[in-house]
Structure 1
Amino acid sequence: MVRYSIMRLLIFFAVVLVLYAVSLRGWPLLILAALVSLVVSFFVLRGPREQFASQLERKVAERQKRAETYRSAEDDDLDD
């Protein structure tokens, strides 16, 4: 997630530099840079975003499995 965030920031600053080079200044610079970088990062960073989502999904599945194991072990203890 940290890598993804850093890459988003780099895209934002790159867009800011490009827009600054074409003489855009002030709030319009920041607003337009935010919008353009949002669109660019949506397409460019699709791979890292999907990779992070799959990692998160695996962790959730592991925790659910572990919780179910503990739950069934507690139920067995109560039945004895």
Structure 2
Amino acid sequence: MLRYTVLRLLIFFGCLVFFWLVGLRNDQILLLLVSAAASVLLSFFLLRSQRDRFSEQIQDRMEKRHEAKRLAQGSVDPDSDEAAEDAELDQRPDR
């Protein structure tokens, strides 16, 4: 997450310098707004892999937490997908 934040800031400051050199020096508010908008668009496309990795980490962490909670309870939640799959398998005739 820290890496993503630093990269977002670098993109913003890069846009800020670029638009300052292009000629938006006189209107500071316009310079900030244009730089912010451009950095959001660039970050959306350039940092997609960073966001995907971060969301995978969050998903893994949540799955581990859910599994630990389930094991701590000592039983399978009757509303869970596992319980539904087990019930479906129990209803099938043996082949």
Higher helix proportion: 1
Residue 16 (structure 1) shift: 0.2
Task: State yes or no: 1:2 paired with 2:23.
Answer: no
- Aligned-residue RMSD, C-alpha: 1.0
Residue in 1 that maps onto 2:31:
29
- Deviation string for 1:21-40 (max 9, x for gaps)? 01103100000100000000
> Which residue identity lines up with residue 35 of structure 1 in the other structure?
A
- After the TM superposition, list the runs of 4 or more consecutive aligned residues in structure 1 that deviate by more than 6 angstroms: none
Residue 59 (structure 1) shift: 0.3
Percent same amino acid among aligned pairs?
34
Query: What CA distance in whole angstroms lies between the structure 2 residues aligned with 1:22 and 1:41?
Result: 21
Query: What CA distance in whole angstroms lies between the structure 1 residues aligned with 2:74 and 2:33?
Result: 53
Structure ranking higher on relative contact order (CA contacts 8 Å, 6+ apart): 1
Query: What CA distance in whole angstroms lies between the structure 1 residues aligned with 2:60 and 2:41?
Result: 28
Gaps of 5+ in 2: 76-95
Q: What TM-score, normalized to structure 2?
A: 0.74
Residue in 2 that maps onto 1:66:
68
Residue in 2 that maps onto 1:14:
14
Gaps of 5+ in 1: 74-80
Residue in 1 that maps onto 2:40:
38
Task: State yes or no: 1:48 paired with 2:50.
Answer: yes
- Deviation string for 1:28-57 (max 9, x for gaps)? 000010000000000000001100000110
